[in-house]
């Protein structure tokens, strides 16, 4: 299958999980609504992250395991557009590609789901909590150092099943994915940003295409959300300036209010023995600069040693 040269057709590359397909179909519907008569086709891609569901992501190469094959397909002309969960997209894209649209953002917070309905404060000492994220591991250790945190991989349904079957007592997942799949009622509690700082880009979708593809840029223009875009710019600027990957617990979350932007960040050791937090506010028009400035402050406070050790 090759990408379409027909102005009335777009081929979207996506992973085949239920959440990835929901996201791609959501974008497809929005494209067709914005451009009546447009034909949109999905092309399913199996990524390295899909093939290897055991162990931490860092053992497979970090965030790139979710997007590498999809980016290769874009560059090869197999399809025209890719839809990603932005939190899975590395700071630097493959050469020749660009993020062409960030649609409105869903709930960026983390969700706590327990088998008994107990909140994270009420779990028994030594209860087992599953997550595949070092960022969540470190923050769970800060909130409840008595809990046993275990690696929990798999798609959303798999993780929920492992909670229900008692493989773990609770799990932490992204609110956005659960809400998008109609599983919001399974959430026991939504962590406040102050309790569990989200991952960079969490809750946002990223539309990726070949750089300079004016046809696709024109078609996706109506999907762009200005607030989500500027927040993502600040968060990804922070990520790039820190030079961080999946080996280090890192959180970053931006919010806008009028012309102002607030960006919060966290860098920690996986065991939470060292945790650096900082934030910066400024004009939303300076989102990229604010991300870099906050990264510089964290690096000056010791983040470099943490990142190098990771």
Would you please indicate which residues are annotated as catalytic (active-site) residues? 88
- Beta carbons within 8 Å of 273's beta carbon, 6+ residues apart: none
């Amino acid at each position: 299958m090759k990408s379409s040269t027909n102005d009335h057709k777009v081929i979207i590359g996506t992973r085949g999980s239920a959440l990835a397909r929901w996201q791609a179909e959501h974008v497809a519907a929005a494209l067709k609504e914005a451009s009546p008569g447009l034909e949109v086709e999905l092309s399913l891609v199996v990524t390295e992250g899909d093939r290897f569901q055991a162990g931490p992501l860092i053992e497979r190469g970090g965030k790139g395991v979710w997007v590498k094959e999809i980016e290769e397909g874009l560059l090869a002309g197999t399809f025209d557009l890719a839809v990603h969960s932005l939190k899975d997209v590395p700071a630097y894209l493959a050469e020749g590609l660009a993020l062409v649209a960030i649609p409105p953002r869903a709930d960026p917070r983390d969700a706590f789901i327990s088998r008994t309905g107990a909140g994270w404060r009420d779990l028994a000492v030594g209860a087992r909590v599953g997550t595949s994220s070092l960022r969540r591991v470190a923050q769970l250790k800060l909130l409840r150092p008595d809990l046993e945190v275990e690696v929990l991989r798999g798609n959303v349904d798999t993780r929920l099943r492992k909670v229900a079957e008692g493989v773990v007592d609770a799990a932490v997942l992204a609110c956005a994915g659960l809400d998008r799949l109609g599983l919001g009622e399974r959430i026991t509690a939504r962590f406040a940003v102050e309790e569990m700082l989200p991952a960079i880009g969490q809750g946002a979708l990223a539309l990726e295409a070949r750089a300079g593809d004016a046809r696709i840029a024109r078609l996706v223009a109506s999907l762009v959300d200005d607030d989500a875009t500027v927040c993502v710019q600040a968060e990804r600027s922070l990520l790039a300036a820190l030079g961080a990957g999946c080996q280090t617990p890192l959180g970053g979350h931006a919010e806008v209010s009028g012309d102002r932007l607030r960006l919060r960040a966290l860098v920690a050791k996986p065991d939470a023995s060292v945790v650096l937090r900082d934030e910066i506010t400024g004009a939303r028009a300076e989102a990229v600069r604010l991300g870099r400035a906050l990264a510089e402050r964290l690096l000056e406070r010791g983040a470099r040693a943490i990142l190098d050790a990771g």
